[in-house]
Amino acid sequence: MPSPADIGVISYAPIALLFVMAAVFAAVNIVASALFGPRVESVVKGTAYESGMDPFGSARKRFNVRFYVMAMTFLVFDVEIIFLYPWAVSFAQLEPRSDESLMFLARIGFFVGTSVIAYIYAWRKGVFRWD
Amino acid sequence: MMGMESMGPRLGLLAPEMVLFAGAVLVSVIGLSRSAGMRRSVPLWCIVALVAAAFVSVETWTQERASAAQLLFPSMGSFVKPMLALVGVLLVLPGIGAIDRGVEGAIASGRQAFDALRVMRGEHYAFALFSIAGAMLLCGASDLIWLFLALELVSLPTYIMVALGRGSRKAQEAAVKYFFLGALSTALFLYGFALIYGSTGTLQIAGIRDAFAAQAAGPGIDMTGLAGLCLAILGLCFKITAVPMHFYAPDVYEGAAVHVSAFLAFVPKVAGFVALAVLLGTAGWTGHALIAADGVRVAYTGLPEPVAAVLWMSAVLTMTLGNVGALMQRSIKRTLAYSSVSHSGYMMIGLIVGAPAGINALFFYLLCYGIMTTASFAALAALERSGEEVDSFDDIAGLRVRHPAVAWMLAISAVSLVGIPPMVGFFGKLALFMAAFESGQVALVAIAVVNSAVSAWYYLRLAIVPLVAPPSARSATVVSAPSRWPAICAVVCGVGSVIVPLAASRLLQASERASEGYGAGSAVAGDESGPKGSGGLYTSRLTRP
Amino acid sequence: MTQALLAMAQDGTLPELPETLRAAPSGEIAAALLISALLMAIGVVGFLSRRNMIIMFLCTELMFQGAALAMVAFSRHHMDVSGQVFVIFILTVAAAEAALALGLVVLLHRRRETLSAEAWGELGE
Amino acid sequence: MTLAQSIPTATVSESMSWVGLALLFPLVSAVLCALMAAFRFRGKGPALVTAIALGASFAVILRAYMTYSGTPVVIPIFDWIDFSWSGGGTFKSFAANMSLYVDRLTLFWMLFVTGLGTLITVYASEYMESDRGAGYCRFFFGISIFLASMTALVMSDNLLMLYLGWEGVGLASYLLIGYYYTRPSAVAAAKKAFIVNRIGDLGLALGTFLIWSNYGTVQYDTLFAALSSGGWSGADWDKSLIPYLLMLGAFGKSAQIPLYVWLPDAMEGPTPVSALIHAATMVTAGVYHIARMYPLFELHPDALATVAWIGGGTALLAATIGMAQYDMKRVFAYSTISQLGYMFLGLGVGSTFAAAYHTFTHAFFKALLFLTAGAVMHGFGGQLDIRKLSGLLKVPGFRIVGWMMLVGCLWLSALPYSAAFFSKDEIILAAFINGDRAIPALGWIALGTAALTAYYTFRVWFRVWLGPVRYEPDPVEMAHMAAAHGADHGHGDHGHDAASHGAHGHSASHGTGHGHGDSHDFHPHAPRLAINGVLVILGIGAVLAGLPNYLVMAGRESENWVQWMLAGSSAYQGAGVPGGDHSHTILGMDAHRAMLLLGGCATFGGIAVAAWLHLFSRASADRLRSALLANPLTRWIPLGAERKWLVDEFYHWVLRLPLWIGGQIMSFADRHVLDGALVNGFGKLPLALGRLFRPLYGGPLQGYAVTMAGGVALVLAWVVWMWTRGAH
């Protein structure tokens, strides 16, 4: 029986390898383009790329408050998802259609319901309106 | 285990919180209505929810449910929840007319179209309800997770209320300080919870109590547990504005809108004290015994010495620094903030004395304090000067001439805050000091009495300046706030500070239920709430050096 | 929800950890606790020493995570899953605080065009 | 058998709880008045409500009197304070419930308190009508609060509720003295009354506390039971302090030496207030309190003698001052102090009956005097100076007022066979002959004072009502009123600002251009039905107050009704009328006969002197004054009396100045030591601590955070250190 430490190292090796490969790939690309790429400076080339349009205004301009509101909403709903994982894992182990499983379903239903209330509230508040 | 079986009674005990939750949802939706009349009705619904919660909390509370819920203080909610709801009703009133004043004015005059993103009345009151619901939830806390979540439910809404309560820069500065320092304190008690968990191996409050009792019966509570308790206490000191976590109070109370300051002076404080009572209850006070999980009867010998000493020093410093700080303030709100600090100091005496007498007196004092301090804040909210809040003693000089009712209510609340008979403050102090005296905390009582005498200096100034001093140039331009409700609230609270003492006996009896069921014989002998039964798992492996 | 998760944990309805992972050497626990304490300390120091409010907020998050890590470590130590349940809630609350902090910071930045904590010193003695 | 043992044990009676309505009615009317003020009510509603409430209160008391069975009854209303605990090995309790203690003494006091309260409210409904609006509501609110508090004071069954009422009447008195709060003198008078009364209240509070700590109760029935079982032992200094502390409270409320200085100034309030609160009812609270606590006073050998001497001294001092005052209300104020002095003298020489009887008769004739003075003031533009009013009996519409004031003056002068003669007579008689407690020296002082009283009383009446017709309004009042009508008109309810006693209403009815202090253009404003009616009723009441004694004299009753009203109460002196056995002699004559002669001589002598100096030969009064002034040996007499023997100045220099200097020193220390070092020091502590770590942080936010985190770190380090030393 392998020791816990062995299992840990061995099982995570592919992931480590993945990280290493990703890093090397990125580094190699950057270095290669710096070494071998042709370098032609021009005004047009120095401007920011805005999907073919001529750029205007400063890059440091303020963002619309809607971005922040949206970001916050996303953050909150995103985190709520983590409660679904432990629930889902344990729900799968319950006997189907038993009282217990129904109770579990009701509980998560309540939880999702509160999230829906929050969603309706955000919608009424006009968070999702972009004008 | 405590899953299915105890969920029923516990849900029953949570009825008032559910009412408040529903109320908050309702209020936030109504607050977004396009009709100005509907929006104006928001405080009304808020009050309806609070009154309903008070009613429900009284009606649904039964001894059987309470004991079935297996809480450390099974009956605490029976007093604390109605108290929170009823004082909450009073706290709703001072904000009427102040929130969204500019926006609503612009909408009414047609300068601006209705924009759901710009109106905040619904949110404000919904947050208030959430915060009160959080404080109520604390009464039913059976484990540290619950405790933590309820505490956060109390705090997070108040951060927003401070920031949005009024549009001034001061409010935003107050919000910055309150939020960041609040986050720091949260981190502290959270780490304390982690250490307590490390020491006892359970998050269940009852389990922690058993584990601490077992440790105390042996070599004593280990260092992890002690450090955790102290960290948690200090973190919670932020909520009750106690030394060393009180520094934010004057700035935040000054910066926040006055009705928000009133809220801050009461709801988080109740929450902090409830949480502290529960936490300290796990370590136990002298004179209680319980049957530990292994069937052995364990007598408490009192709080662990370091914890008791920390509380003692903090109480003394809190009342002293609060009073000294208030002595020479020029801002009334800062004075009231320091006064709030000093009252926390008095109330900490109740924590030191412990269940039953100290905790009962503490909660009775909280009720008295809520009435008195709301009166003074509401009196301030009833006035304004060129659209600004009234905040300097100059503004209220000779107030009796133009605003006699408000001046008298300010004076009554001040006199009551000193604790002069027959005002409600006197009875609060009487009960508290008597409990401390009985338990032998004579030094603490003496210090508190001296402090009360010192506090008379600045409280009487609060009474004399509006009543006796000649009107000043500034006070001549003070006018009533657009809404009458803050003044009505001040009158209700002021008259209450005089009338409530008439029912002092009954209220004291009611508060005596708060710690009923704690301690002797109530423990959880042999039942399943100790998560892993008895055994070596209780003792931490972080043993003493 | 807390109740539900705790109930699951204590009823044993949550999946058991693999047998091989259950007993952790106390050295590892101690290391985890050390790191959690370090996180806490770094958070406090950062909170006190940095002016940018966003960084300050990140430092409080650091403290939260320190506490969360301690929870996990103790949970392993006691073989009790409830500590890990607590961590989920800590993360949630941290996210809520983050949303709040974000809103607050935006509000302040609009007012003052700076995120320095020094800029807010009007109130005081 | 001591007095305490003779008090019957009280029975608890739930069925009589309707008596509590007497307390409830004034409270209801106070609330209604406040509501009317809130809703900007401008009619006479407050007066109506208050009069009805007080009348109902009177009816309740009357019914209680009719149905009273003879033994004291405790009527619980509701539980107020009921603590009990065990400490130091003994079981202690502190119970002070909202309960009423009804015995004859209570009913006696309540009868005239509520009766006079109702009458004076009716009077005030007309008197105050020019202030209709917020001021009117405020006035009747104050009256209602006063009556409620007075009821609580008199009817309570424990000292704590009595204290509550005591403070309540003090508050109402403060509010009503300062009624014309735009006048600095009124504000100053209100403050003075408040502060002087606080000194007395401190005594009462300490006394109550000592009673509780010595006897373990503040409830009358248990207290009397405790007193009857255990006597006073001279070794207990705190027990012997009790009567003196209670005395201090009584002297403050009832304006006796050394705390009498507030009462003359209290005349700044509206006249009905002076009549009700500062003459008839509130100021007798001290007498009531001592009568109620009489068993306690009896236990101490010197306590009652002290009361007697203070009372006698006050009677004389106030009479000498009253002789030299020119303000009508002030004269009556000093006469009130003087008559209160008589009551205390009566208490002190052991005749509670005489004191209570005098309280009763005094309430009528003094209320009558004040109300007639008020009617004069109401009618003559606030004029009260007796040098500027003359021959008013000939002014149309003032006849009733004048004759009624004559009744009051005769009664105050103790006209033989008038009610006041009987009561005062009993006091003086008791001072001469009442057994162990008699102090004959005080008897002579009281007799002399009676002559002085007759003189200064008739000095007022002769000057004001007889002689050539001459009157002018008070220029200060008129100017004040004119200002209120001119520049300040838009400012608030003008009733407030115009410190207008009727001159206001008068000028309004005569159009503009009036009320500028122009005496030629001035028309007196005669009283109407409410005022005249009340005056007549009071006059009749004053006459009928002698009825109890007439009945005894006619042999229809065996004892005086007032004496009967004291039976079975703490104030009952079983011996009955002092010297009733005719065995005592004064100057060789039978005591009663001697009193009739001596008292008659004093009264008629005083009136005669007054008639000579102030009616027939007014110039000789001025000559007498200048002659006294010319002689350096006698100069001090008129000057001293006119300047009230410089007592106010004495208090100012001896008490207020040192206090003021002390205050200045404290304030300096406060600013520079406390504020500078301590407060600012503590305030800056977090920032200063933070500055230590300056490189670490930026801004006050982190300054606080450093202190917080530092505190936590310190505590944690300390806990760890404690733990390593083995404390856990």
Q: pLDDT tens track of chain B, all 545 residues?
A: 344 444 566 777 889 999 999 999 999 989 988 888 899 999 999 999 999 999 999 888 887 777 777 788 888 889 999 999 999 999 999 999 888 888 888 888 888 888 887 888 899 999 999 999 999 999 988 889 999 999 999 999 999 999 988 878 888 889 989 999 999 999 999 999 999 999 999 999 988 988 888 888 777 788 888 889 999 999 999 999 998 898 899 989 999 999 999 999 999 999 999 999 999 998 888 766 555 555 555 666 678 888 988 999 999 999 988 888 887 778 899 999 999 999 999 999 999 998 788 899 999 999 999 999 999 999 999 999 888 888 888 889 888 888 888 999 999 999 999 988 778 999 899 889 988 888 888 889 999 998 998 888 889 888 888 887 888 888 888 998 888 899 999 999 999 998 888 888 888 888 888 888 786 444 433 333 333 333 222 222 222 33
Say if the Cβ atoms of B117 and A126 lie within 8 Å. Answer: yes
- Chain D residues near residue C123 by CB distance under 8 angstroms: 700
- Chain C residues near residue B195 by CB distance under 8 angstroms: 70
CATH of the domain at A10: 1.20.58.1610
pLDDT, tens only, D687-706: 565 555 444 444 577 788 88
Question: Token digits for D341?
Answer: 């002095």
**How many C-beta atoms lie closer than 10 Å to residue D91's C-beta?**
10
Distance from CA of C8 to the nearest CA of A (A): 7
Say if the Cβ atoms of C48 and D696 lie within 8 Å. Answer: yes
Alpha helices in B109-222 (DSSP H): 121-139, 144-165, 169-200, 205-217
Distance from CA of B117 to the nearest CA of A (A): 6
By CA distance, what is D701's nearest residue in C?
A: C117
Mean pLDDT of D213-220: 80
Best to test chain B binding among C13, C58, C86 (most B CBs inside 10 Å): C86
- Chain B residues near residue D78 by CB distance under 8 angstroms: 502
Say what percent of chain A tops pLDDT 90: 3
Q: Which residues pair with B389 in a beta bridge?
A: B384
Residue C57 lies in a domain: yes
Residue C107 lies in a domain: yes
Provide the CB-side half-sphere exposure for D620 (13 A, CA).
Answer: 9
Contact yes or no, A with D (3+ CB pairs under 8 Å): no
Measured CA to CA, the distance from residue B208 to residue B531 in angstroms comes to 10
- Strands D589-590 and D585-586 turn out to be antiparallel
D708 touches chain C (CB under 8 A): no
By CA distance, what is C25's nearest residue in B?
A: B541
Mean pLDDT of D79-88: 61
Say whether D82 sits in a helix, a strand or coil.
Answer: strand
Mean pLDDT of D177-204: 82
A60 touches chain C (CB under 8 A): no
Say if the Cβ atoms of D702 and C117 lie within 8 Å. Answer: yes
CB D282 within 8 A of CB D165: no
Say if the Cβ atoms of D680 and B328 lie within 8 Å. Answer: yes
Measured CA to CA, the distance from residue B311 to residue B240 in angstroms comes to 13
Measured CA to CA, the distance from residue A8 to residue A111 in angstroms comes to 36
Our count of domains for chain B comes to: 1
pLDDT, tens only, D124-159: 888 887 777 778 888 888 899 899 999 989 988 888
Residue B86 is predicted with a pLDDT of 95
pLDDT band at residue D487 using 50, 70 and 90 as cut-offs: very low
Burial tier of A25 (Cβ tally within 10 Å: 0-12, 13-18, 19+) = exposed
More confident: B417 or A93 = B417
- Chain B residues near residue A124 by CB distance under 8 angstroms: 29, 32, 116
* Average model confidence (pLDDT) across chain D: 77
A88 touches chain C (CB under 8 A): no
Domain containing residue C59: 28-115
pLDDT band at residue C27 using 50, 70 and 90 as cut-offs: confident
Residue A130 lies in a domain: no
Our count of domains for chain C comes to: 1
Residue A46 lies in a domain: yes
Quick check: bond before B422 cis, omega within 30?
Answer: yes
Residue B437 lies in a domain: yes
CATH of the domain at C95: 1.10.287.3510
Measured CA to CA, the distance from residue D549 to residue D242 in angstroms comes to 35
Residue B257 is predicted with a pLDDT of 93
Residue A131 lies in a domain: no
More confident: D411 or D643 = D411
Domain containing residue B151: 4-538
pLDDT, tens only, C109-122: 777 777 777 777 77
pLDDT band at residue D515 using 50, 70 and 90 as cut-offs: very low
pTM of the entire predicted model: 0.67
- Chain A residues near residue B116 by CB distance under 8 angstroms: 124-126
Structural domain boundaries in chain D: 648-724
D82 touches chain B (CB under 8 A): yes
Our count of domains for chain A comes to: 1
Alpha helices in C1-125 (DSSP H): 2-11, 19-22, 26-49, 53-78, 82-112
Residue B113 lies in a domain: yes
**Could you tell me the CA-to-CA distances from B418 to A47, D9, D197, D288 in Å, in that order?**
71, 39, 20, 31
Domain containing residue A43: 4-125
pLDDT band at residue A7 using 50, 70 and 90 as cut-offs: very low
- Chain D residues near residue B508 by CB distance under 8 angstroms: 83
Residue B544 lies in a domain: no
pLDDT, tens only, D399-446: 888 888 888 888 888 888 888 888 888 888 888 877 677 787 888 888
Mean pLDDT of A57-76: 68
In terms of Cα–Cα distance, which of B186, B168, B188, B167 is closest to B178? B186
Say if the Cβ atoms of A75 and C98 lie within 8 Å. Answer: yes
Residue A108 lies in a domain: yes
- Chain A residues near residue C95 by CB distance under 8 angstroms: 75-76, 78-79
Residue B284 is predicted with a pLDDT of 81
Residue A29 lies in a domain: yes
Residue B414 is predicted with a pLDDT of 93
pLDDT band at residue D160 using 50, 70 and 90 as cut-offs: confident
pLDDT band at residue D491 using 50, 70 and 90 as cut-offs: very low
In terms of Cα–Cα distance, which of B446, B181, B536, D6 is closest to C79? B536
Distance from CA of C20 to the nearest CA of B (A): 20
ipTM of the complex as predicted: 0.79
